[in-house]
Amino acid sequence: MTVSSDLPPDPSTVPSTDPSTGGAAGAPGAVLPLRPELAGLEPYGAPQLDVPVLLNVNENPYAPSEQVVADVAAAVAQAARGLNRYPDRDFADLRADLAAYLLAESGVALTPAQVWAANGSNEIMLHVLQAFGGPGRTALSFAPTYSMYPEYARDTSTRWVVGRRAEDFTLDPEHARATIAEHAPSVVLLASPNNPTGTALPAATVRAVLDAAARVPGGCVVVVDEAYGEFRRAGTPSALELLAEHPHLAVSRTMSKAFGLAGARVGYLAAAPALVDALRVVRLPYHLSAVTQAVARAALAHAPELMAQVGSLRDERDALVAWLRGRGFEAADSDANFVLFGRFDDRDAVWQGLLDRGVLVRVTGPEGWLRVSVGTPAETAAFTDALVEVTGR
């Protein structure tokens, strides 16, 4: 059985197209002027299935504590008293809180003017492409990498180009330099740790990309996507440390992963004030609701407690990599809260076998590989037991 990593759209909400009219079936002559590059495409999204063990979208498996829940609820209640008014469209207090958090987490001092936030790091990336991409411009990354990047380019009519990562998923600096020189992109997107491989980039590689980007005629913004940055292993630097030297660098983060706040949809970015100001031009008015701001600030007040979970997830990840390799599987080195593992002649069959046993992982990455999120010890045990049953290893 061949299984797609994404579910098909709901047929009750997505009209079919009648090729004879160009319109929706059942509505002759109702032509919709859909952009040609969107024709036939399905919405992005991982499967959302009701199974006991959900390890497919890299969520933090630990729910907020009761104290965090209580403080978030109190903050939302306070915000609700002013919902008749628009929120602070530049969310100065939240930006100050995020800057304070990054100082504690990475040791990098930033001003609120160097921080931006949006509804998830997805919207942050869209802001970047709206400001610096567009028709006649190019965005570049190195595959395999996050599958949403080409969609951001598509949605902003930006040409999309990919170089290649090495067999071990690292990025060769000379290949990066040559690819940037060849295509002269206006935006380079680097995920570190990379999704779906978990690979973190050494500072020397990021510097090589930044140096090559600085030579692009007309300028080039480099975004280092650190959505999983808090999970990096000891000694792995953050690109935040390079911000002071490189005004064309932006580093994006999210509260969805380490903070366990995926349901709140809060992403943010650190960069030079001039770069942040460019994003303010393209953002929608009042794009970050008062409720979202309140939730994020309440969670940030509990950062030490929430970050305490990160250490246990790192340990669980490293133990899982060792277990997979001990059983004869390949497992990529990971600085994230997931592991890419394989290789399988029929990964779809393995995916289905795990699903039949109540464990949902992700079909993604190069052919033959699967990705599993790091769960609780009980969830990891359920995954490893199911994998042994499915593969016989």
Choosing from 269, 302, 335, the residue where a domain stops is: 302
Domain shared by 288 and 342, yes or no: no
Domain shared by 207 and 355, yes or no: no
Domain shared by 83 and 225, yes or no: yes
Tell whether 41 is covered by a domain.
no
Q: Write down the H helix ranges in 133-195.
A: 149-155, 173-183
Residue 314's domain is classified under what CATH number?
3.90.1150.10
- Per-residue CA distances from 104 to 72, 94, 245, 259, 312 (Å): 21, 15, 20, 14, 19
Domain shared by 261 and 277, yes or no: yes
With contact defined as beta carbons under 8 Å apart, do 126 and 158 qualify? no
Domain shared by 292 and 360, yes or no: no
State pLDDT tens for residues 74-125.
999 999 999 999 999 999 999 999 999 999 999 999 999 999 999 999 999 9
Domain shared by 269 and 371, yes or no: no
Q: Residue 334, SS3?
A: coil
Question: What pLDDT tens digit does each residue of the chain (393 aa) get?
Answer: 333 344 334 333 334 444 334 444 455 668 899 999 899 998 887 778 899 999 999 999 999 999 999 999 999 999 999 999 999 999 999 999 999 999 999 999 999 999 999 999 999 999 999 999 999 999 999 999 999 999 999 999 999 999 999 999 999 999 999 999 999 999 999 999 999 999 999 999 999 999 999 999 999 999 999 999 999 999 999 999 999 999 999 999 999 999 999 999 999 999 999 999 999 999 999 999 999 999 999 999 999 998 889 999 999 999 999 999 999 999 999 999 999 999 999 999 999 999 999 999 999 999 999 999 999 999 999 999 999 999 999
How many other C-beta atoms can be found within 10 angstroms of the C-beta atom of residue 85?
8
- The pTM for the full model equals 0.90
Choosing from 302, 332, 356, the residue where a domain stops is: 302
Tell whether 225 is covered by a domain.
yes
Radius of gyration of the chain (CA): 22
Domain shared by 98 and 242, yes or no: yes
Domain shared by 221 and 291, yes or no: yes
Could you identify the residue written with the tokens 């009209």?
15
Tell whether 355 is covered by a domain.
yes
Tell whether 386 is covered by a domain.
yes
Domain shared by 363 and 270, yes or no: no
Residue 96's domain is classified under what CATH number?
3.40.640.10
Tell whether 10 is covered by a domain.
no
With contact defined as beta carbons under 8 Å apart, do 256 and 268 qualify? no
Domain shared by 176 and 219, yes or no: yes
- Per-residue CA distances from 307 to 73, 90, 353 (Å): 20, 26, 34
Tell whether 14 is covered by a domain.
no
Domain shared by 102 and 238, yes or no: yes
Choosing from 302, 328, 359, the residue where a domain stops is: 302
Domain shared by 98 and 128, yes or no: yes
Tell whether 250 is covered by a domain.
yes
Could you identify the residue written with the tokens 């913004």?
221
**What is the domain range of residue 382?**
53-64+304-391
CA 312 remoteness from chain centre = 21
Tell whether 114 is covered by a domain.
yes
